[in-house]
Amino acid sequence: MLPLLRINRHLFACSSLPLSSSPPRKVQPFCKSLIRRLTPRSGAMAAKISTAAGSPELLFRQLFEKESSTYTYLLADVGHPEKPALLVDPVDRTVDRDLSLVKDLGLKLIYAMNTHVHADHITGTGLIKSLMPCVESVISRASNAKADLLVEHGDKIYFGNLFLEVRATPGHTLGCVTYVTGDGPDQPRPRMAFTGDTLLIRGCGRTDFQGGSSHKLYQSVHSQIFTLPKDTLLYPAHDYKGFTVSTVGEEMLYNPRLSKDEETFKSIMESLNLAYPKMMDVAVPSNMVCGMQDLPAN
Ligand SMILES: N[C@@H](CCC(=O)N[C@@H](CSS)C(=O)NCC(=O)O)C(=O)O
């Protein structure tokens, strides 16, 4: 943890919320509605987004954490004057690298998002918030974890003029979601889906703990991911074989688990016999509060 403290907090400070006087953030549930448009809560940013100038232009980076074989994704709208950015599934060990990149690229990080409560590593969300209190943590309401924003199926998470759509994809855990780039004239093509551990390249997340269910995972993938356009790019939270990206069409054909019928899939999942993740007993409690406990005092 200590090396992370080397980050110069002022380099990442938000203009709208001074670090020194920022109050502790409360987890405030959002009002429920059918489709909610989530924009940052800091007044200046939200006001600019609603009348945002500039054509949306996606900046995208795939980042890797080698001890847990985790991918973190950086997305930003660099067509927007403030270059608002978000991180999907940051890892505590690589927060300094990720924030340095954010700074180098002149981005304004607004969200640190999780696809689910990870069992194999500690999320970087807590450390990011300790360094940049204006960044809002995001996780699904169904995960029962604490975060600034608790998202639900159908929500749209805006960063500048780009957005991610939230799709509930339970099965690996009860609260797993897949974040999909928007469907609209100004949104990136092909679409991109950040599948967490729901769908891995030629594999999928295990279903033997944290409310896992092979029935739910199968239904989630077939109803929420395999129904996306076939050229949709798939970006998982892990890869253990060196793959970086796949497509919906490719996984529908070649995924050795999910291209099968549901009964075959269930018997494959029952016979995986995987050892429990080494960090599970530490990672799950920490990730239930988005890594916000036991952090060095600000
Ligand atoms: N050996 C690793 C954990 C490996 C593992 O269980 N990976 C999970 C995702 S992280 S909970 C998984 O779902 N794997 C599916 C598979 O088919 O491998 C460790 O000890 O951390």
- Nearest residue to 184 (alpha-carbon basis) of 35, 2, 14: 35
- Nearest residue to 206 (alpha-carbon basis) of 152, 144, 280, 112: 280
- Nearest residue to 108 (alpha-carbon basis) of 48, 50, 148, 195: 48
CB 196 within 8 A of CB 178: yes
Q: Whose CA is nearest to atom 3 of ligand 1?
A: 277
Q: Write 50-57 long-range contacts (CB < 8 A, 24+).
A: 52/80, 52/81, 52/160, 52/161, 53/80, 53/81, 54/79, 54/80, 54/81, 54/160, 54/161, 55/79, 55/161, 55/186, 56/80, 56/160, 56/161, 56/162, 56/186, 56/187
How large is the ipTM?
Answer: 0.99
- Nearest residue to 234 (alpha-carbon basis) of 128, 115, 91, 141: 115
Q: Whose CA is nearest to atom 13 of ligand 1?
A: 205
What's the confidence (pLDDT) of residue 46?
A: 41
Largest interatomic CA distance in the chain: 57
Please write the tens of the pLDDT for every residue from 174-208. Answer: 999 999 999 999 999 999 999 999 999 999 999 99
Q: Which residues of 109-124 are buried (b: 16+ CB within 10 A; e: fewer)?
A: bbbbbbbbbbbbbbbb
Please write the tens of the pLDDT for every residue from 4-59. Answer: 322 222 233 343 332 233 333 332 333 222 346 776 655 434 433 444 578 999 99
At the topology level of CATH, where does 33-48+58-287 sit? Metallo-beta-lactamase; Chain A (3.60.15)
The runs of H, that is alpha helices, within 69-182 are 95-104, 125-131
Q: Whose CA is nearest to atom 19 of ligand 1?
A: 277
- Residue list, ligand 1 pocket, CB within 6 Å: 68, 119-120, 197, 203, 205-206, 238, 272, 274, 277-279
- What is the residue type of 103? K
Average pLDDT over residues 74-100: 98
Distance 236 CA to ligand 1 centre (A): 13
- Nearest residue to 82 (alpha-carbon basis) of 108, 56, 100, 112: 108
Distance 297 CA to ligand 1 centre (A): 32
Distance 228 CA to ligand 1 centre (A): 26
Question: What are the domain boundaries of the chain?
Answer: 33-48+58-287
- Nearest residue to 235 (alpha-carbon basis) of 279, 278, 190, 287: 190
- pTM of the shown model: 0.86
Q: Flag whether pLDDT at 218 surpasses 60.
A: yes
Percent of the chain, pLDDT > 70? 81
Ligand 1 atom with least separation from CA of 238: 9
Two structure tokens written together for 239: 């890869």
CB 289 within 8 A of CB 145: yes
Two structure tokens written together for 246: 């796949």
Ligand 1 atom with least separation from CA of 172: 13
Q: Whose CA is nearest to atom 6 of ligand 1?
A: 277
Which helix (H) or strand (E) is 112 found in, with range? strand 108-113
Ligand 1 atom with least separation from CA of 120: 21
Q: Flag whether pLDDT at 212 surpasses 60.
A: yes
CA 78 to chain centre: 19
Distance 204 CA to ligand 1 centre (A): 10
CB 195 within 8 A of CB 162: no
* Rounded Cα–Cα distance for residues 233 and 151 (Å): 22
CB 203 within 8 A of CB 172: no
- Nearest residue to 164 (alpha-carbon basis) of 138, 201, 142: 138
Q: Strands (DSSP E) along 4-92, which ranges?
A: 37-38, 58-65, 70-77, 84-88
Please write the tens of the pLDDT for every residue from 105-159. Answer: 999 999 999 999 999 999 999 999 999 999 999 999 999 999 999 999 999 999 9
